[in-house]
Amino acid sequence: MTTTAGPRPRAKVRLADVLFSGTARVAGILILVALAAVAIFLLAQALPALVADPADYGSHAANFLGYVLPLVFGTIWAAFLAVLIAFPISMGIALFISHYAPRRLAQGLGYIIDLLAAVPSVVFGLWGVQVLAPAVKPLYAWLADHLGWIFLFAPPASGTGRTVLTVAVVLAVMIIPIITSISREIFLQTPVLHQEAALALGATRWEMIRMAVLPFGRSGIVSATMLGLGRALGETLVVAMVLSPKDFISFVLTSSNNTATIAGNIALNFPEASGIGVNALIATGLVLFVITLAINSVARYVVNRRKAFSGAN
């Protein structure tokens, strides 16, 4: 034996390597710290409002819970209506682009829908209040006259068209590109062999989509919808510009008595708020943060789980 069992050769540790990887790691950790800081600082500023008397910030509710509950209801109600409108349309568009439109046109059509996502929300708000609201006013009057016995359309109808239904329509337009782009990607990932097998068995195009494409994309559709919901929950300017909110719970779609949303309430009252009023608004913001965080986490969890098992990547 001539070889000696010396130490294994080790790569030289370079200072620059350590510095560079360290910097990259710090940047990554910084993101986690930032997210934690958002929660901590919001909580720190919200605490005074949680124990204060609501009369101090201009609310006649018994406690903070009574102040925030109508806002939570308004937020979820408007976002729910928006998703209700946006979901079928988005599915239609996504299928149209992925399976119906001629291949050559499809990408261009996708760009057009993405164009909707590029419009700033304040412009949507301006459009909603100055174009859409006057346009739908007669429709609301008609609904209140003829379907007023349904609690959703109880008269009197709004004289301005600035109702929660108008808000929901504008929000729907804003979240359609989000739901569409994610579902479209997932529909396009459907294994071609599945689709061809269905067609070869004599399925019509719709039967092929129902049997091969939709089951494959189900979890993707769910999470895309939840991401859209998250966006609708946090949307501020449209609500602030279109609604003139009240602080009680109302299910009526077509009247001018509408429940405020958390984000809209903050935008309307923050510029004039002072002292404990600022803390109260921050506390409502914290509630919104928790709601959207929960919804987004679930949506991402569903997407990631699907990614691991589908074999599409």
Partner 1 sequence: MATVTAGSAIPNALASGRLPKWAPWALLGASWVAAIIVFALLTAGAHSDFNIVGAILVGTIAFDVLLVVLSRLVEGARQATNRLVTSLVSTAFIVALLPLVSLLYTVIAKGLARFDIEFFTYSMRNVVGAGGGALHAIVGTLLITLGATIISVPVGLLTSIYLVEYGRGSLARAITFFVDVMTGIPSIVAGLFAVAFFSLILGDPGIRFGFGGSVALSLLMIPTVVRSSEEMLRIVPNELREAAYALGVPKWLTILKVVLPTSVAGIATGVTLAISRVIGETAPLLLICGYATSMNTNLFANRMMTLPVFVYSQYAQPGTPQQPYFDRAWTAALTLILIVMALNLIARLIARIFSPKLGR
Positions 228 through 257 that interact with partner 1 (CB under 8 A): 230-231, 233-237, 240-241
Question: Please, are residues 165 and 144 in contact by the beta-carbon 8 Å criterion?
Answer: no
42 sits near partner 1 (criterion: CB under 8 A) = yes
- Residue with smaller CB distance to partner 1, 70 or 285: 285
Site residues for partner 1, 168-227, by CB under 8 A, read 173, 176, 180, 204-207, 209, 227
According to CB under 8 A, which one of 63, 107, 244, 297 is a site residue for partner 1? 297
Question: Tokens for 103?
Answer: 């291949």
**Which range in 23-31, 142-150, 152-160, 193-201 contacts partner 1 by CB under 8 A?**
23-31
C-alpha torsion 187→193→199→203, nearest 10: -60
Site of tokens 């997407």: 303
The C-alpha atoms of residue 50 and residue 47 are separated, in whole angstroms, by 5
Would you tell me how many other CB atoms lie within 10 Å of the CB of residue 293? Answer: 14
Site of tokens 């074999």: 311
- Residue with smaller CB distance to partner 1, 82 or 252: 82
Question: Please, are residues 252 and 151 in contact by the beta-carbon 8 Å criterion?
Answer: yes
Three-state DSSP at 140 gives helix
Question: Please, are residues 280 and 167 in contact by the beta-carbon 8 Å criterion?
Answer: no
At residue 246, what are phi and psi to the nearest 5 degrees?
-120, 165
According to CB under 8 A, which one of 69, 108, 248, 300 is a site residue for partner 1? 300
**Which range in 42-50, 55-63, 191-199, 249-257 contacts partner 1 by CB under 8 A?**
42-50
The C-alpha atoms of residue 279 and residue 43 are separated, in whole angstroms, by 10
Helices of type H across the chain: 15-51, 64-95, 103-118, 121-127, 133-146, 164-188, 192-200, 205-208, 214-234, 237-242, 262-269, 276-310
Q: State the number of binding residues for partner 1 (CB under 8 A).
A: 93
Q: How far is CA 280 from CA 60, 91, 235, in A?
A: 13, 39, 19
Q: For the CB of residue 149, give the shortest distance to partner 1 in the complex, in Å.
A: 26
Question: Tokens for 283?
Answer: 């506390």
Question: Tokens for 208?
Answer: 């092929």
Sign of CA dihedral 275, 277, 281, 287: positive
Q: For the CB of residue 192, give the shortest distance to partner 1 in the complex, in Å.
A: 20
- Residue with smaller CB distance to partner 1, 132 or 164: 132
Q: For the CB of residue 18, give the shortest distance to partner 1 in the complex, in Å.
A: 9
Q: For the CB of residue 3, give the shortest distance to partner 1 in the complex, in Å.
A: 26
Site residues for partner 1, 255-294, by CB under 8 A, read 263, 266-267, 270-271, 274-275, 278, 281-282, 285, 288-289, 292-293
Q: For the CB of residue 255, give the shortest distance to partner 1 in the complex, in Å.
A: 22
Site residues for partner 1, 130-159, by CB under 8 A, read 130-132
**Which range in 2-10, 58-66, 245-253, 296-304 contacts partner 1 by CB under 8 A?**
296-304
Binding map of partner 1 across residues 61-100, x = CB under 8 A, - = no contact: ---------------------------xxxxxx-xxx--x
Site residues for partner 1, 113-132, by CB under 8 A, read 113, 115-116, 118-127, 129-132
